[in-house]
């Protein structure tokens, strides 16, 4: 009996010692390309200096700012000394790549550019919170798979303040996204100040009321005015804020459909030139911009002239989706323009509008993105197509040589419910997109090796018909954004076997940053 007890004790001791000797786990979202832990650790405290050996101070300043709520004090930034050394070295091989080396006496972070340093610091930030500052020794080498890693936000159906948008950008940056698609105009509100047309925000930024319930089963209207817009000064502030986090903002100015707020402010833009209200309903209205009148193109060019001055990025989104052609079919201006151009149908008329606007923006050194609806009227080889109606639009665009961004609703519409049962989720627009569904998505499906080169990236879309508060917004984004960012950044190294364990660490990261998140995935609900 005594022998058995001693033997059992020895087995238990061996197990405990083996557990102590296991290499610590490095849980990072998105999954790095290469990662190796070793014995020992380096302790990072609020007093550990960030030593900028080369590159700008910006990545270090951002980490100090992001960890301030965690530490309670600002970490020091120095130009020499020991601690966390930051340097830029193009030999990393990828501008957004980095190498993180943790030794017992310090940390060396090398980035292919300042952006690479920033992404490396985001990984380090996760490790600091996960390990209470005691960072396991080891090495991480990492770089993204896709060049375009985006997220969209609709501020037209429900308006969000500058501070709420900035917090949204903070969340994107922590997940290593580099594009923010800002949907600024629609039927339900015009949200960007245009000095040439002050009526757009004076009249078009506020709707009288909002529909209650789903648009296909309305319960009336709430009778509450809703609106808001961003001044050009505020736009510049947000653009600068995003750029400091290596995120380029892509503004969307809808045309020729989804424009009823603009038509309310400037009735002459429509075919009938009649007064319409800023729409309080969801869905698709028949009221669209007239594609036959030259004054419509003058308006669009004046608006876009101001837009390109506010947004320095290469891409401008022109919408182009869900444009009914009923008004065009009965409009003498549109029919006359079609005869003049020898066009066979109204879809080709929209193709003419898109091509003309593209040429105008090309004159400013910019390129257009349009929703995949623009394929119906034909597009130039230089237009980028954003595929939302399933993957077929992106596949079609890639096969004909256009660059495409994948955002199919069945995987990327984060306004959809997060569980099949919808229990406890409140009112949503419909559909179902779970964390696991996003994580298992293959954006290359149906494409050969050559065609895959035209899929430059992907994004999630967050439409705000039923998202009325910032907390709800962030809960719709998280944790599904973590699944998407692994597809974006780590497409070829996703690990379903470890993702749930890693997401428990990520959950603590969200809580440390005070970011609201949905509980369904962590509860094991589909």
Q: Is 258 a catalytic residue?
A: yes
Within 126-233, strands assigned E span 134-142, 148-154, 179-183, 185-186, 189-190, 206-207, 226-227
Alpha carbon distances (Å) from 285 to 211, 228, 257, 259: 14, 21, 8, 9
Q: Which of 41, 258, 264, 454 is catalytic?
A: 258
Phi, psi dihedral angles at 68 (to 5 degrees):
-60, -45
CA torsion, ordered 65, 164, 238, 476, to nearest 10 deg: 100
Tell me whether the omega of the peptide bond preceding residue 499 falls within 30 degrees of 0, making it cis: no
Q: Is 186 a catalytic residue?
A: yes
Torsion over CA: 411, 414, 419, 420 (sign): negative
Size of the chain, expressed as the number of residues it contains? 526
Element housing 353 (H / E)? helix 346-362
Taking the alpha carbons at both ends of the chain, their separation in whole angstroms is 50
Instruction: Give the tokens for residue 475.
Output: 């809960």
Q: Which of 164, 322, 376, 425 is catalytic?
A: 322
Alpha carbon distances (Å) from 91 to 114, 202, 250: 14, 52, 30
Exposure string over 430-468, b if 16+ CB within 10 A, otherwise e: eebbbbebbbebebbeebeeebeebbebbbbbbbbbbbb
Q: Which of 154, 186, 187, 287 is catalytic?
A: 186
The rounded distance, in Å, linking the Cα atoms of 316 and 303 is: 12
The rounded distance, in Å, linking the Cα atoms of 20 and 252 is: 54
Output DSSP code: residue 460: E
Instruction: Give the tokens for residue 308.
Output: 């390109």
Tell me whether the omega of the peptide bond preceding residue 479 falls within 30 degrees of 0, making it cis: yes
Give DSSP secondary structure letters for 415-440: TSBSSSS-TT--S--S-B--HHHHHT
The rounded distance, in Å, linking the Cα atoms of 173 and 247 is: 7
Q: Is 330 a catalytic residue?
A: no
Asked whether 394 and 385 are in contact (CB, 8 A), the reply is: yes
The rounded distance, in Å, linking the Cα atoms of 406 and 384 is: 11
List Cβ neighbours of 109 (8 Å cut-off, separation of 6 or more): 84, 85, 86, 87, 98, 99, 100, 101, 117, 120, 121, 124
Phi, psi dihedral angles at 139 (to 5 degrees):
-135, 145
The rounded distance, in Å, linking the Cα atoms of 144 and 247 is: 14
Q: Which residues are catalytic?
A: 186, 258, 322
């Amino acid at each position: 009996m005594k022998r058995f007890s001693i033997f059992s004790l020895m087995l238990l001791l061996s197990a405990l010692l083996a557990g102590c000797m296991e290499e610590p786990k490095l849980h990072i979202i998105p999954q790095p390309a290469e990662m190796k832990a070793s014995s020992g650790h380096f302790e990072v405290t609020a007093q550990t200096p960030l030593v900028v050996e080369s590159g700008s101070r910006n990545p270090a300043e951002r980490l100090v700012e992001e960890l301030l709520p965690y530490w309670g004090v600002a970490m020091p930034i120095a130009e020499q000394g020991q601690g966390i050394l930051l340097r830029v070295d193009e030999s990393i091989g990828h501008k957004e790549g980095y190498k993180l080396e943790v030794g017992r006496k310090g940390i060396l972070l090398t980035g292919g550019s300042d952006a690479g340093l920033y992404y490396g610091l985001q990984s380090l930030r996760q490790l600091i919170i996960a390990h209470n500052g005691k960072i396991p020794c080891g090495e991480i080498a990492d770089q993204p798979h896709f060049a375009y890693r985006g997220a969209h936000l609709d501020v037209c159906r429900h308006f969000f303040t500058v501070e709420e948008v900035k917090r949204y950008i903070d969340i994107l940056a922590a997940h290593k996204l580099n594009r923010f698609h800002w949907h600024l105009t629609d039927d339900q509100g015009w949200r960007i100040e245009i000095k040439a047309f002050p009526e757009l925000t004076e009249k078009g930024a506020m709707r009288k009321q909002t529909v209650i319930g789903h648009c296909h089963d309305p319960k009336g209207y709430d009778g509450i005015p809703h609106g808001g817009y961003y001044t050009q000064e505020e736009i510049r502030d947000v653009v600068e804020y995003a750029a400091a986090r290596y995120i380029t903002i892509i503004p969307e100015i809808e045309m020729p459909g989804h424009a009823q707020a603009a038509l309310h402010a400037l009735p002459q833009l429509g075919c009938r030139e009649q007064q319409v209200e800023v729409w309080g309903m969801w869905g698709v209205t028949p009221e669209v911009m007239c594609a036959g009148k030259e004054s419509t193109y003058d308006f669009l060019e004046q608006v876009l002239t101001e837009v390109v001055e506010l947004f320095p990025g290469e891409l401008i989104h022109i919408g182009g989706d869900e444009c009914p052609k009923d008004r065009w079919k009965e409009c003498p201006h549109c029919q006359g323009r079609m005869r003049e151009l020898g066009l066979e149908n109204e879809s080709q008329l929209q193709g003419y509008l898109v091509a003309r606007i593209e040429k105008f923006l090309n004159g400013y050194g910019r390129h257009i993105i349009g929703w995949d609806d623009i394929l119906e009227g034909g597009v130039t080889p230089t237009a980028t197509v954003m595929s939302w109606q399933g993957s077929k639009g992106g596949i079609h665009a890639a096969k004909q040589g256009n660059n495409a961004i994948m955002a199919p609703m069945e995987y990327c519409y984060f306004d959809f419910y997060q569980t099949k049962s919808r229990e406890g989720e409140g009112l949503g627009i419909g559909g179902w997109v779970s964390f696991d569904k996003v994580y298992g998505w293959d954006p290359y499906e149906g494409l050969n090796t050559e065609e895959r080169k035209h899929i430059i990236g992907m994004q999630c879309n967050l439409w705000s018909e039923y998202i009325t508060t910032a907390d709800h917004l962030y809960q719709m984004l998280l944790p599904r954004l973590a699944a998407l960012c692994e597809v974006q950044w780590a497409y070829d190294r996703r690990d379903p076997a470890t993702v749930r364990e890693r997401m428990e660490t990520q959950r603590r990261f969200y809580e440390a940053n005070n970011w609201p998140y949905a509980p369904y995935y962590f509860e094991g609900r589909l």
